[in-house]
Amino acid sequence: MKKLTITCVIAAAACAATLGFVTTAQARVTPYGYIKLDASYDQSRTNDGNFVYIVLPEATSDDEFNMTAKQTRLGLNFQEEKSEGPQVTGKLELDFYGGGAENKPNPMLRHAFMKLSYPGFSLLAGQTSDLYAPLNPTTLNYIVLWKCGNTGYRRPQIRLTKTMDLGEKARLTLAGSVNRSVGLGESGEDAALPVGMARIAVSAQVTGQEFATLGLSGLIGREELDVIDETFESEAVAIDVIIPLGKKASLKGEYYWGQNMASYLGGIGQGIDLDHREEIESSGGWVHLALELNEEAGLNVGAGLDDPELQAGDSTNVLDKNLSYFGNIIWKLHSAVSVGVEYLGTETTYADGENYQNHRGQLSFLYSF
């Protein structure tokens, strides 16, 4: 671990020196992450196999087995040791879903940001999760119900956050961000405008130290397709909720409505109807119940649904509805090692009315450090 820390610090310092951003600041660097092996059996062929987005129509009776370590995650947390002024922190995090052969995968950047924190206020700059629709369910399946009711992803951004106390047991959070526009090909940068996101949330203490949270978020953006000389708007609103159910259980979920949501993993990845030259509207959501069975085991169950509104005559968008439901149990075998088993059912309905189903069993081993 010490060698990893030293190597990463030397690499970061070398990059900074090359770019001319040499600093005398003293930062504490803490490595973290996990090694994860996923083994899965699917009754039908899915997209993409190591994880499940949708069920493919041409091979519903063609079962498959996958095993991968691509979700293995490596990260560094940075904290400036100066005591004066704002608290300065940062994060760098990778996994290995960046393409490449199954046994020689490429790294993929997940997070790379700096954050300045003042009392009740913070400024973040870099790549991290969207401010819009910020929650995720706990699944062993890598994609956490994306394209199945769970929207929002990660992208470069500049974010401001303000928190205010509302009495002794409640607080209000206001946040806004400007984000990199991502779309079909170069349509994001051609729009020459960033994506704007905002969120307001109220949290209140309801049981012991547990807080319930209600959040409302939204986004607005634009894509420009030069090949047809058209612009397309992205708009969405989302509600997110966390409800503690005593000390050992909690309920959370999100609901969204939007248009042109492909870049935000809504609409089952469909955003633009090129035949009618208009945005695709979609809505959906997910719910997740977590229950602590004992000190060594936890149970998670949930479901998600995404429902885009496709028009007749749309020749390129064919996914009409996507439903997933899951249940998993995760046991601690050691303070740093856990094993989990999960059932995931997925039903994908196509524009022609055909419905295809998959039943997936997954076994995961996780070593956290």
- The radius of gyration of the chain from alpha carbons, rounded to an integer in Å, stands at 22
pTM of the full predicted structure? 0.90
The reported pLDDT for the residue numbered 207 is 74
The reported pLDDT for the residue numbered 48 is 83
Exposure string of 299-338, with b = 16+ CB inside 10 Å and e = fewer, is ebbbbbbbbbebeeebeebebbbbbbbbbbbbeeeeeeeb
User: What is the C-alpha separation between 123 and 158, in angstroms, rounded?
Assistant: 7
Cβ neighbors of 247 (< 8 A, separation 6 or more) are 207, 208, 210, 292
The reported pLDDT for the residue numbered 25 is 59
DSSP letter string, 48-68:
ESSSEEEE-GGGTT--EEEEE
Under 8 Å between Cβ of 296 and 264: no
User: What is the C-alpha separation between 196 and 198, in angstroms, rounded?
Assistant: 7
Q: For 331-346, what is each residue's pLDDT tens digit?
A: 999 999 999 999 999 9
User: What is the C-alpha separation between 19 and 76, in angstroms, rounded?
Assistant: 20
CATH number (domain holding residue 212): 2.40.160.10
What does the block give as tokens for 277? 């030259």
Q: For 62-106, what is each residue's pLDDT tens digit?
A: 899 999 999 999 999 999 987 678 999 999 999 999 999 999 999
Structural domain including 322 reads 2-368
Query: How far is CA 47 from each of CA 64, 104, 209, 268, 346, rounded to the nearest angstrom?
Result: 12, 20, 41, 12, 11
What does the block give as tokens for 22? 């040499």
Domains contained in the chain, number: 1
